[in-house]
Structure 1
């Protein structure tokens, strides 16, 4: 029986970890694309402004938490940025509830990011920092707009030009002090991110794709470790 296991079953089991990794990576691809987009936009902002924070968790002013993709200190105040790393054609009006991503003949609706970013702006304003708070939604260059780009929206290629009015001059003491106070309100560590994730799940439901993707990657690692342990154990090492 042991010989049958070694000759037939074990080779099949070795095929499972790569398969689980592929399946898990496919489920996590949208999340990975989102992180990639935030890195692209984050680097652009760092080239434009003296100080930038990324993936910031703050009180939302209503007893909960909100996560902001990017916050920048500018000579004209504070800038709140929401990143979208989408490809294909984008259709959407400034006041519409949902926009649509068009890839071929497929349509993928998503929440209007301008509305999403307004909630982030309100959270920053609720801190009472006494400085203007500006907003911008940035799409990476894989996206193109079917109609005119709505006000308050940029693509990476036009970001420096679109934010030109916020870049002139020096950052005064009052704005630097407001930035310091803002940094002091940032919620750091795994507990804050866990609380925010639970809040999002209560509002919008669990992200089962991400959960399953992480579970598959974990299972692939555990199975690969078990198989390696059996191989090294069988040779007496």
Structure 2
């Protein structure tokens, strides 16, 4: 009888834990970037959801500098990364000492779409962006243009924020508008997740990862102690 609870619990824990670890790793990377920027005293918006070309799009960070609004996409990767190009068919190759490797969607393409979405909302205002690597990953063949290691982020933002006086009125107005269109309600968040995951089982597994993991732990413990 004990295995009647332990085996299903272990399965739930394994499935939920895999999705939950991925979420927590991403959250840790985004938090490290946010803390770095807040420590500089620059205005920042995190987890921004705005209209995009194909519906809602989620942006990890928007930063206000004197020269431009900066769009940041954070990735908390490890291993060795190799840039395989942009556009259709482009990807990053992630390799580990064990010999395992993954094909990753090129985040530069992802962030390009974010930059375009922001530019559509605030036309005529300088908008630029970078992919920030917050993990231990490295590029043995050189870091691609548009990518910043976390240690280089502060230097780059300082360069963009140089100058005397307040932010130009047009950039400040654009910043205020982006705050207004940011859709932070839970319904918009769920809709954006459905678009990214394609809906179906993947969406439910990602959204329910904490519950699946907790249920798995409860079943395993119940199998031992009940």
The TM-score range, normalised by the shorter chain, is 0.7 to 0.9
Please, which runs of 5 or more residues in structure 1 have no aligned partner?
1-8, 232-237
Higher relative contact order, structure no. (Cα contacts within 8 Å, ≥ 6 residues apart) = 2
- RMSD over equivalenced CA pairs, Å: 3.1
Aligned partner of 1:25 among 9, 17, 30: 17
Counterpart in the other structure of 1:174: 170
TM, length-normalised to structure 1: 0.79
Report the Cα distance in structure 2 between the residues aligned to 1:209 and 1:34, rounded to whole angstroms: 16
Counterpart in the other structure of 2:120: 126
Classify 1:216/1:39 alpha carbon distance in 2 versus 1 (closer, same or farther; 3 Å). Answer: same
Q: Does structure 1 residue 76 correspond to structure 2 residue 101?
A: no
Please, which runs of 5 or more residues in structure 2 have no aligned partner?
none
Q: Does structure 1 residue 145 correspond to structure 2 residue 139?
A: yes
Cα shift at 1:176: 1.6
Q: Does structure 1 residue 186 correspond to structure 2 residue 179?
A: no
Report the Cα distance in structure 2 between the residues aligned to 1:225 and 1:205, rounded to whole angstroms: 27
CA contact (8 A) 1:56 1:187 kept: yes
CA contact (8 A) 1:93 1:150 kept: no
Q: Which stretch of structure 1 is more off in the superposition, 109-118 or 195-204?
A: 195-204
Report the Cα distance in structure 2 between the residues aligned to 1:204 and 1:119, rounded to whole angstroms: 24
Which protein has the larger Cα radius of gyration, Structure 1 or Structure 2? 1
Classify 1:192/1:213 alpha carbon distance in 2 versus 1 (closer, same or farther; 3 Å). Answer: closer
CA contact (8 A) 1:129 1:181 kept: no
* SS at structure 1 position matched to 2:180: helix
CA contact (8 A) 1:88 1:103 kept: yes
Counterpart in the other structure of 1:195: 191
Counterpart in the other structure of 2:155: 161
Report the Cα distance in structure 2 between the residues aligned to 1:164 and 1:190, rounded to whole angstroms: 34
Count, aligned residues? 219
Report the Cα distance in structure 2 between the residues aligned to 1:66 and 1:197, rounded to whole angstroms: 9
* SS at structure 2 position matched to 1:33: helix
* SS at structure 1 position matched to 2:46: strand
* SS at structure 2 position matched to 1:135: strand
Classify 1:207/1:17 alpha carbon distance in 2 versus 1 (closer, same or farther; 3 Å). Answer: same
